[in-house]
């Protein structure tokens, strides 16, 4: 690999010398409980936006401001546009975080970032405040050490990604003119493994369906009425269990009708990736003896990236505390269905709701409704922008980048790419298998975090070198 030019080398040295400063800034951001979900203080998300804006200002980013839409968690914007003729990169991240989960499961408090064993533990340290800080650090390193960037950059840092970006359309209508760019770069995805970078070229979509089963006007004594009187909890469990066939596929009529088949090239990429089942189970935290699920005729990566999947993400009946010998009047569940190319997320949710309500056992009153949806996204990871990204990742990590899909959903990517006329989207992440994003004990591998920063420094330089006529081709 060729030796970095002067500005790149200066920026890399600055990163190495100031890692402690960037870690402190990330820790300060991660102390703010910016949970965007309903039931959590909205003022904390606003405080997070203001703190994120201040971090951008300290990095010498221009025109930093908090962007407002009535009733929507705030976005943060900033720019550095002092390279006429050079490409503009739109750097995306989000400052909102998932709810903390169960306090007793955390080894240290979720909003008190704690370093242990080369990792920084805390909610948002990786998803996605760590991802945001990758680009803040890379931009700051260039501006502090070299005085300028090789390209133009814009930051857009969302405040409601973790609740599905439901107001993204309103945001784009209001602020579309600010978004013009030649490339989108996002750091909210995962690497293939610790120390092995990845470029993500496909995301699953998602829809959410809430179901309620009701059988009684009120709870009744389980001894006096148990047997003849139906149990809403058992009926709910039966309905959910009936959604999966013995071969692991989903038993929802019409669901697979529009599922796209991966191309031969995509299957080749997937099948070229190494897979160790024992390692995979360990990283997932599976208990001894528990077997993998899903459609058995597909590989694990195909199941994760190219096939729909159903998860029960919430279940309500009666808590242990205060329970008694009763038949409960009603039970509820929230189902999350991941969708793949070819599928319409809302139509998939309607099909799921129809299956759940079509034949209520014992005449129970079953209601199901779609409560949210976000689309899938895919791109062909070929062309000068992806070649530049692969070179940058190799320079940052010292390893070739894996080309992967992602089982998760990021509502931002598809709409922004369309608004910007199909510009290349480069998805580069900070998470590794031990990150535990969305779970308790979320953490960031600090060594990989520095490698991501170094890769970002190289990326800006690489993209600046792409000839003008080739910038809008992947």
Tell me if residue 161 is catalytic. yes
How far apart, in Å, are the Cα atoms of 466 and each of 85, 182, 423? 12, 11, 14
Six-digit token pair at 321? Answer: 């505390």
Instruction: Please check whether residue 215 is in contact with residue 330, taking contact to mean a CB–CB distance below 8 angstroms.
Output: yes
How far apart (Å, rounded) are the C-alpha atoms in residues 229 and 216?
9
357-372 CB burial, b ≥16 within 10 A, e <16: beeeeeebebebebeb
| Catalytic one of 79, 161, 182, 193 | 161
The phi and psi torsions of 70 (rounded to 5 degrees) equal: -55, 130
Instruction: Please check whether residue 203 is in contact with residue 442, taking contact to mean a CB–CB distance below 8 angstroms.
Output: no
Placement of tokens 């814009």 in the chain: 154
| Catalytic one of 25, 96, 231, 432 | 96
3-state secondary structure of 223: helix
Strand-by-strand arrangement of the 330-339 sheet:
309-316, 330-339, 205-214, 365-374
How far apart (Å, rounded) are the C-alpha atoms in residues 55 and 133?
9
Nearest to 434 by CA among 26, 116, 5, 56: 116
Six-digit token pair at 202? Answer: 């496909």
How far apart (Å, rounded) are the C-alpha atoms in residues 8 and 270?
33
Six-digit token pair at 172? Answer: 């784009």
DSSP state of 318: -
Tell me if residue 96 is catalytic. yes
Catalytic residue ranges: 96, 161
């Amino acid at each position: 690999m060729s030796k970095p030019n002067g500005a790149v080398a200066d920026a890399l040295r600055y990163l190495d010398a100031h890692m402690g400063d960037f870690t402190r800034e990330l820790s300060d951001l991660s102390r703010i409980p910016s949970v965007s979900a309903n039931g959590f203080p909205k003022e904390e998300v606003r405080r997070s936006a203001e703190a994120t804006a201040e971090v951008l200002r300290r990095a010498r980013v221009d025109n930093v401001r908090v962007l407002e839409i009535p009733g929507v968690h705030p976005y943060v914007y900033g720019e550095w546009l002092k390279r006429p003729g050079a490409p503009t990169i739109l750097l995306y991240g989000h400052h909102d975080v998932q709810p903390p989960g169960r306090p007793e499961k955390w080894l240290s408090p979720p909003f008190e970032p704690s370093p242990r064993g080369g990792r920084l533990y805390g909610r948002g340290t990786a998803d996605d405040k760590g991802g945001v800080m990758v680009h803040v650090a890379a931009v700051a390193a260039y501006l502090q050490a070299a005085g300028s960037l090789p390209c133009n950059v814009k930051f857009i840092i969302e405040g409601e990604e973790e609740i599905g970006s439901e107001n993204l359309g309103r945001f784009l209508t209001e602020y579309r003119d600010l978004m013009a760019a030649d490339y989108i770069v996002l750091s909210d995805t995962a690497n293939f493994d610790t120390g092995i970078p990845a470029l993500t070229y496909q995301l699953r979509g998602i829809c959410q369906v809430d179901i309620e089963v009701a059988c009684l006007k009120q709870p009744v004594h389980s001894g006096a009425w148990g047997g003849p009187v139906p149990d809403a909890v058992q009926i709910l469990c039966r309905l959910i269990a009936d959604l999966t066939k013995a071969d692991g596929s989903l038993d929802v009529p019409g669901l697979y009708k529009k599922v796209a088949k991966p191309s031969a090239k995509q299957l080749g990429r997937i099948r070229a990736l190494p897979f160790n089942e024992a390692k995979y189970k360990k990283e997932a935290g599976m208990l001894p003896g528990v077997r993998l699920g899903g459609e058995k005729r597909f590989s694990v990566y195909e199941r994760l990236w190219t096939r729909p999947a159903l998860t029960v993400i919430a279940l309500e009946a009666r808590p242990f505390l205060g329970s008694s010998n009763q038949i409960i009047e009603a039970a509820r569940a929230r189902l999350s269905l991941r969708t793949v190319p070819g599928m319409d997320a809302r139509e998939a949710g309607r099909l799921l709701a129809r299956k759940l309500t079509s034949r209520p056992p014992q005449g129970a009153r079953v209601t199901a409704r779609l409560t949210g949806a976000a689309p899938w996204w895919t791109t062909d990871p070929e062309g000068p922008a992806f070649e530049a990204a692969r070179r940058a990742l190799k320079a940052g990590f010292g390893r070739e980048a894996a080309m992967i899909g992602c089982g998760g959903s990021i509502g931002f990517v598809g709409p922004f790419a369309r608004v910007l006329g199909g510009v290349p989207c480069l998805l580069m992440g900070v998470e590794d298998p031990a990150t535990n994003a969305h779970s308790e004990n979320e953490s960031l591998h600090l060594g990989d975090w520095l490698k991501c920063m170094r890769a970002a420094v190289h990326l800006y330089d690489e993209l600046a070198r792409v000839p003008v006529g080739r910038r809008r081709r992947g």
